């Protein structure tokens, strides 16, 4: 089957979405499918090696055809510019698909951004199976965060959301809480809303394999324990909470909070850390997916954080990566996040309401007090991820959705 993957983020860009779609493309290709990925031109969240690489519009990468489209700026810009870019994006994608004469049999669209769902909606008119993979419940998450306030804009995006769901053959979400939320909003589409856990490449995250880069030596990391956050540093990540926790744990001289990545909020966070005099916080730039397991191999705790204003049941993909690497997880999220239940079921770390700073500090202290069990806690997470979130398990479920309806 010729399967088209539609996403605004793909390697060499470094973010959860790009890694998720790469792993999906690789697994589908491994199973004998013809895979084409259409994505934006790589400009954001790159490591230094990627910035020096030149790209062609259409390239073959490890048997996967990748079509990259130059679009309007859509990251590290104001919300008006980002919205315009996202609205134009599906038109630009469809034009390039036509230019290169690409005619898939099935399409999987990653959202956000929600407007990309229109690519799948248009292709469905030609009989293409259309799967919409929803990660963030937009526009609800933008409303919760105060990004969307204008009544007309909210009505427009809610109408777009309804249309996207109606024109998809299946709408997949990564947790039961997300599925229940969609059912409450649009119960008439119950048959379309399906649970598909996010997947993770367990083998890629194996920190027991040969280490290419010793990050302790490279970055002169001398503390016994390193709690790592790696990824995009934006408003929804609410990373000032991590700085608040670090401020109250400065007596833990053997602990470093390592913030790896970039984003709109990074300069402000660096200023805030300097103002607080936090010697137990360190900032570094993005590293490539290939050496990410090397970084995790020298870390003791995987940090995850989301704003308490984000009241959707989202489960951040970083949790699965930390579990796959065998790292105990410390997650600070809204109480409605399904990640709290996941971490409790897997017994792979601690979680707390990100609106309660003191409670977050306390669970971090509790985890550190149990350092003798870090290996056991991490192994429980890895075993749980292997059983429930391996790309082999999840992609098999997606393949079943892609098959033509009987009769």
Mean pLDDT of 312-340: 92
**Length of the chain, please?**
407
Question: Which of 75 and 299 is assigned the larger pLDDT?
Answer: 299
Q: What is the model's pLDDT at position 155? A: 92
Q: Is pLDDT above 80 for 75?
A: no
Q: What is the model's pLDDT at position 147? A: 79
Q: What is the model's pLDDT at position 234? A: 87
Looking at the fold, whether 365 and 250 belong to one and the same domain comes out as yes
Q: Is residue 356 part of a domain?
A: yes
Looking at the fold, whether 136 and 271 belong to one and the same domain comes out as no
The pTM (predicted TM-score) of the whole model is: 0.83
Q: Is pLDDT above 80 for 46?
A: no
Looking at the fold, whether 172 and 224 belong to one and the same domain comes out as no
Q: Is residue 204 part of a domain?
A: no
Looking at the fold, whether 221 and 188 belong to one and the same domain comes out as no
User: pLDDT for 256-270, tens place per residue?
Assistant: 999 999 988 999 999
Q: What is the model's pLDDT at position 205? A: 87
Q: For residue 108, give its domain range.
A: 2-199+390-402
Looking at the fold, whether 324 and 245 belong to one and the same domain comes out as yes
When divided into structural domains, the chain yields a total of 2
User: pLDDT for 199-231, tens place per residue?
Assistant: 998 888 887 766 778 999 999 999 999 999 998
Q: Is pLDDT above 80 for 246?
A: yes
Q: Is residue 148 part of a domain?
A: yes
User: pLDDT for 354-384, tens place per residue?
Assistant: 999 999 999 999 999 999 999 999 999 999 9
Mean pLDDT of 316-343: 94
Q: What is the model's pLDDT at position 210? A: 62
CATH number at residue 397: 3.40.50.2000
Q: At what angle do helices 391-402 and 16-30 cross, to 10 degrees?
A: 70
Looking at the fold, whether 92 and 115 belong to one and the same domain comes out as yes
User: pLDDT for 380-394, tens place per residue?
Assistant: 999 999 999 998 889
Among the ranges given (118-122, 134-138, 218-222, 310-314), the one the predictor scored with the smallest mean pLDDT: 310-314
Q: Is pLDDT above 80 for 52?
A: no
Q: What 3 state SS string does the chain have?
A: CEEEEECCCCCCCCCHHHHHHHHHHHHHHHCCCEEEEEEECCCCCCCHHHHCCCCCCEEEECCEEEEEECCCCCCCCCHHHHHHHHHHHHHHHHHHHHHCCCCCCEEEEEECCHHHHHHHHHHHCCCCEEEEEECCCCCHHHHHCCCCCCHHHHHHHHHHHHHHHHCCCEEEECCHHHHHHHHHHCHHHHHHEEECCCCECCCCCCCCCCCCCCHHHHCCCCCCEEEEEEEECCHHHCCHHHHHHHHHCCCCCCEEEEEEEECCCHHHHHHHHHHHCCCCEEEECCCCHHHHHHHHCCCCEEEEECCCCCCCCCCCHHHHHHHHCCCCEEEEECCCCCHHHHHHHHCCEEEEECCCHHHHHHHHHHHHHCHHHHHHHHHHHHHHHHHHCEHHHHHHHHHHHHCCCCC
Looking at the fold, whether 156 and 231 belong to one and the same domain comes out as no
Looking at the fold, whether 396 and 377 belong to one and the same domain comes out as no
Mean pLDDT of 37-45: 88
Looking at the fold, whether 297 and 168 belong to one and the same domain comes out as no
Among the ranges given (6-15, 286-295, 308-317), the one the predictor scored with the smallest mean pLDDT: 308-317
Q: What is the model's pLDDT at position 215? A: 93
Q: Is residue 30 part of a domain?
A: yes
| CA 104 remoteness from chain centre | 25
Looking at the fold, whether 308 and 377 belong to one and the same domain comes out as yes
Looking at the fold, whether 143 and 279 belong to one and the same domain comes out as no
Q: Is pLDDT above 60 for 407?
A: no
User: pLDDT for 84-101, tens place per residue?
Assistant: 888 999 999 999 999 999
Percent of the chain with pLDDT over 90: 70
Mean pLDDT of 21-27: 94
Question: Which of 181 and 226 is assigned the larger pLDDT?
Answer: 226
Q: Is pLDDT above 80 for 76?
A: no
Q: Is residue 207 part of a domain?
A: no
Backbone angles phi, psi at 325, to 5 degrees: -85, -5
Looking at the fold, whether 177 and 252 belong to one and the same domain comes out as no
Mean pLDDT of 67-80: 82
Q: What is the model's pLDDT at position 289? A: 85
Q: What is the model's pLDDT at position 315? A: 87
């Amino acid at each position: 089957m010729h399967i088209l993957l539609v996403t605004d983020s793909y390697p060499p860009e470094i973010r959860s979405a790009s890694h998720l779609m790469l792993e999906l493309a690789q697994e589908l290709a491994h199973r004998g499918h013809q895979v084409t990925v259409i994505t934006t031109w790589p400009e954001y969240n790159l490591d230094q090696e990627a910035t020096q690489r030149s790209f062609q519009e259409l390239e073959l990468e490890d048997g996967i055809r990748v079509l990259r489209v130059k679009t309007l700026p859509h990251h590290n810009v104001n919300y008006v510019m980002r919205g315009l870019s996202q609205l134009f994006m599906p038109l630009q994608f469809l034009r390039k698909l036509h230019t290169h004469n690409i005619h898939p049999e099935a399409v999987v669209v990653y959202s956000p951004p929600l407007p990309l769902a229109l690519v799948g909606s248009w292709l469905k008119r030609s009989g293409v199976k259309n799967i919409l993979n929803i990660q963030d419940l937009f526009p609800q998450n933008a409303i919760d965060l105060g990004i969307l306030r204008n009544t007309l804009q909210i009505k427009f995006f809610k109408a777009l959301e309804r249309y996207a769901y109606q024109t998809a053959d299946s709408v997949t979400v990564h947790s039961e809480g997300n599925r229940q939320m969609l059912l409450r909003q649009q119960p008439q589409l119950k048959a379309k809303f399906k649970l598909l856990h996010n997947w993770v490449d367990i083998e890629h995250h194996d920190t027991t394999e040969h280490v290419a880069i010793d990050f302790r030596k490279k970055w002169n990391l001398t503390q016994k324990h390193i709690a790592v956050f790696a990824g995009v540093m934006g408003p929804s990540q609410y990373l000032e909470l991590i700085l608040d926790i670090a401020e109250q744990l400065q007596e833990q001289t053997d602990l470093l909070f390592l913030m790896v990545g970039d984003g709109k909020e990074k300069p402000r966070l660096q200023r805030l850390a300097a103002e607080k005099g936090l010697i137990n916080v360190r900032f570094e730039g993005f590293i490539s997916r290939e050496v990410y397991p090397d970084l995790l191999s020298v870390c003791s705790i995987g940090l995850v954080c989301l704003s308490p204003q984000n009241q959707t049941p989202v489960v951040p993909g970083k949790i699965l990566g930390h579990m796959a690497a065998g790292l105990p997880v410390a997650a600070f999220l809204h109480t409605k996040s399904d990640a709290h239940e996941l971490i409790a079921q897997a017994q792979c770390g601690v979680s707390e309401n990100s609106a309660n700073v003191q409670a977050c500090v306390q669970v971090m202290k509790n985890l550190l007090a149990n350092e003798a069990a870090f290996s056991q806690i991490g192994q429980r997470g890895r075993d749980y991820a292997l059983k429930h979130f391996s790309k082999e398990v999840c992609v098999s479920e997606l393949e079943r959705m892609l098959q033509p309806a009987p009769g």
